[in-house]
Amino acid sequence: MIILGIETSCDETAVSVVEARGTLDSTHESVRFNVRSQALYSQVKIHAAYGGVFPALAKREHAKNLVPLLKKAVHDAAIEQIKEKSNFNEEKIKKILERETGLADMLLKHSADIDRPAIDAIAVTAGPGLEPALWVGINFALALGEIWHIPVYPTNHMAGHLFSPLITAGTTFQFPVLALLISGGHTELVVAKDWQNHKVVGQTRDDAVGEAFDKVARLLNVPYPGGPAISRLAQEARDANSTPQFSLPRPMLDSGDFAFSFSGLKTAVLYLLKKFDNMTDDVRRQVAREFEDAVTDVLITKTTHAIAAYEPRTLVIAGGVSANAHIRDAFEKLAANYPDLNLYIPPVTLSTDNAVMIAAAAYISILSGAQPATTIKAAGNLTL
């Protein structure tokens, strides 16, 4: 089946067309995805001025970019057009999109120009995320479902991250799956017993790892988003053999559970920086390196304990922070100690937010019996 994915939970606007096949039944052909197109517009530059994501601005940008991205995604996917104009009620579309400035006009104009593409279903992120941002994608998906007369499936963003490794050809999950999901809004260890049953066994009590990267970046005067910038600074310190002359805490390392806490680490960086008369480039590099090492130690230790406790056959590391090269390396080294454990980390383009993973997660929930929705509510705190 061909699924159009839509993702607007944070500061990436993404639309993608994915061809999905296979079943969840292990005796049959397993699920496979063919990414037909991936259109994405990142708003990071726009939000950089605010040092973080500014929800009202994200909402406006999503509304502005969804139709151009839809056009591109459908065009690039080169899907067959059904040679008929869609029959739909214009007033209904205007009503669905009444809160999304300018979007109804853009979508109606676009729909008047083209034939209906042969897409079977729409998958849209319903949460978790920033509610004003989520609403734009949801209303857009519902309007499009109405125009094309196809079902719309609300989809969990974290399920998207969890299943994102399956998009790469040749990957299959063997259960139980242990997943470490690390992003700007989440840090959680999830155990999946099978395709349907996922349990969060540990999560952060305060800041998410990505949030800690972003806040420390601000302290080091590097632009938002902090992850890539800190990672670059830390690598410069390693390349120059510049070993930090100080150490940062490894929070909750011995807490005996799978909980995380990163806000103290950020505060420790704040106090550490006060000790230096001026923040030279060398200090910034060393702080970035020690911070990245501290975060990596915590993630590796907690995951090692979770492997011992849950004996997974598949280990997934996903979410925006899994784009970090140092963290990826550390997990590859860890997994080498477990010959019976398959480690999957999605490629960088599928680590950070995207719409392919939303289409993939929707396909898995469709195979699990999920029903389409005619009304969907944004759920900022939706959990797995």
Q: Which residues are at the interface with ligand KG4 (CB under 6 A)?
A: 10, 183-185, 210, 213-214, 225-228, 231, 319-321, 323-324, 352-353
CB of 368 to ligand KG4, least distance (A): 23
Nearer to Zn ion, 97 or 323 (CB): 323
Tokens of 22: 């296979």
Contact at 8 Å (CB) between 328 and 322? yes
Closest CA to 319 of 124, 163, 178, 127: 163
CB of 228 to Zn ion, least distance (A): 15
Nearer to Zn ion, 184 or 244 (CB): 184
Nearer to Zn ion, 171 or 183 (CB): 183
Contact at 8 Å (CB) between 47 and 11? yes
Using Cβ positions, the residue closest to Zn ion within the complex turns out to be: 183
CB of 228 to ligand KG4, least distance (A): 5
Tokens of 302: 């907690």
Q: Which entry of ligand KG4, Zn ion, none binds 225, CB below 5 to 8 A by partner kind?
A: ligand KG4
What's the CA gap between 320 and 345, in Å, rounded?
Answer: 11
Residue 11 sits in the site that holds Zn ion (CB under 5 A) = no
CB of 352 to Zn ion, least distance (A): 7
CB of 342 to ligand KG4, least distance (A): 22
Burial status of residue 313 (CB atoms within 10 A of its CB: 0-12, 13-18, 19 or more)? middle
What's the CA gap between 356 and 366, in Å, rounded?
Answer: 15
What's the CA gap between 288 and 240, in Å, rounded?
Answer: 13
Residue 211 sits in the site that holds Zn ion (CB under 5 A) = no
Q: Is the dihedral of CA 39, 3, 123, 100 positive or negative?
A: positive
Contact at 8 Å (CB) between 178 and 191? yes
Q: Which of 353, 359, 363, 376 binds Zn ion (CB under 5 A)?
A: 353
Residue 183 sits in the site that holds Zn ion (CB under 5 A) = yes
CB of 6 to ligand KG4, least distance (A): 15
Report which secondary-structure segment, H or E, holds 155.
strand 152-156
Nearer to ligand KG4, 173 or 213 (CB): 213
Tokens of 108: 């109606």
Nearer to Zn ion, 306 or 323 (CB): 323
Q: Which residues bind Zn ion (CB under 5 A)?
A: 183, 353
